[in-house]
């Protein structure tokens, strides 16, 4: 003798909303975590995505150009003097800050290891946690603050 299939329907049970500060009781299946309101998209708690794209590989360059201009930038990586051209577009403010080779994190780490700046590797990784990048437009005017600590 077999049990009717309808038995397999998920049973609703009393649940407490796990949305911070809510705690409302609602009926849901066992995997429900939030009350109907907090299941709405706008309440969804998003995992912070790594801001790597904008903040590690790129820089924010605030400018007022109304035409495309080409700029020569120097790689922002300690000890790398490579220059590269970047086209600056009107109303676009995010640009690469490393030379083409060093846009690869692995290569940046290798480079810092080679010049004995493991401390900067840590710093570079820590910087990825910060969402804010200040305008560093002034760096474009060749400010070589290269202090070679032997």
Catalog residues that contact Zn ion under the rule CB under 5 A: 17, 19, 22, 24, 35, 38, 75, 77, 80, 82, 99, 102
Cβ proximity to Zn ion, 16 vs 63, nearer residue = 16
CB of 8 to Zn ion, least distance (A): 28
Provide the sign of the torsion angle of the four alpha carbons 27, 29, 31, 32, taken in this order.
negative
Cβ proximity to Zn ion, 17 vs 120, nearer residue = 17
DSSP secondary-structure letter at 90?
T
What Å distances lie between residue 42 and 37, 38, 46, 130, CA to CA? 10, 8, 10, 24
CB of 101 to Zn ion, least distance (A): 6
Cβ proximity to Zn ion, 57 vs 102, nearer residue = 102
CB of 77 to Zn ion, least distance (A): 5
Question: What is d(CA 84, CA 75) in angstroms, rounded to the nearest whole number?
Answer: 7
Rounded to a whole number, what is the distance in angstroms from the first to the last CA of the chain?
83
CB of 79 to Zn ion, least distance (A): 9
Residues 128/53, Cβ–Cβ less than 8 Å = no
Cβ proximity to Zn ion, 26 vs 61, nearer residue = 26
């Amino acid at each position: 003798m077999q049990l009717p299939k309808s038995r397999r329907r998920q049973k609703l049970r009393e649940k407490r909303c796990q949305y911070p500060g809510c705690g409302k009781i609602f009926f849901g299946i066992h995997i429900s975590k939030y009350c109907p309101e907090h299941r709405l998209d706008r309440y969804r708690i998003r995992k912070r995505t790594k801001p790597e794209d904008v903040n590690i590989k790129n820089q924010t360059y605030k400018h007022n150009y109304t035409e495309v201009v080409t700029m020569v930038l120097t790689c922002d990586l300690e000890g790398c003097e490579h220059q590269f051209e970047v086209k600056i577009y009107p109303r676009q403010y995010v640009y690469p800050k490393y030379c083409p080779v060093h846009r690869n994190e692995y290569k940046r780490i290798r480079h810092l290891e080679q010049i004995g700046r493991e401390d900067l590797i840590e710093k570079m990784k820590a910087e990825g946690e910060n969402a804010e990048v200040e305008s560093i437009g002034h760096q474009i005017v060749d400010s070589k603050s290269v202090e070679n600590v032997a």
